[in-house]
Amino acid sequence: MTIAQLPIHIMLITPIAVALFVLGILVATGKADRWIAGYNTASEEECAKVNIKRVRWISAIILWISDIYLVFLAIANLSAIGIIITTLAFIVVCIIFTILAATSTKKGSVEKYWGTKTKT
């Protein structure tokens, strides 16, 4: 099968999926901190309060989950109800990671919420 014979949705989603994967790597390695919303405009004092390593990893994981979701939708032959269920599962996972990011990225917040000690 040549590229011209691929379905259009696969040809459209492939560059987006590659971009999300690469962006996840850039975020996880700390090369894209200026692209993390809120962190790029925060003062040095506010940045010092944030556990940037945890923010990086949570952001990268969300990007990779989005990548997996897009690839799955492109290659799976789902019915309308299958697409709806998959999309709802994706939204739930994103909400969980958003809550995780909001509650565990401030330095000392893990101890506050979970009662454990971590290295920062």
Per DSSP, the residues of the chain read --GGGS-HHHHHHHHHHHHHHHHHHHHHTTTTGGGSTTTTTS-HHHHHTB-HHHHHHHHHHHHHHHHHHHHHHHHS---HHHHHHHHHHHHHHHHHHHHHHHHHSBTTHHHHHH------
Tens digits of per-residue pLDDT, 72-82? 888 888 888 98
Q: What is the mean pLDDT of residues 83-99?
A: 89
Tens digits of per-residue pLDDT, 13-45? 888 889 999 999 999 998 988 887 777 788 888
pTM, full prediction? 0.74
Instruction: For residue 1, name the pLDDT band (cuts at 50, 70, 90).
Output: low
Residue 50 has φ and ψ, to the nearest 5°, of -100, 135
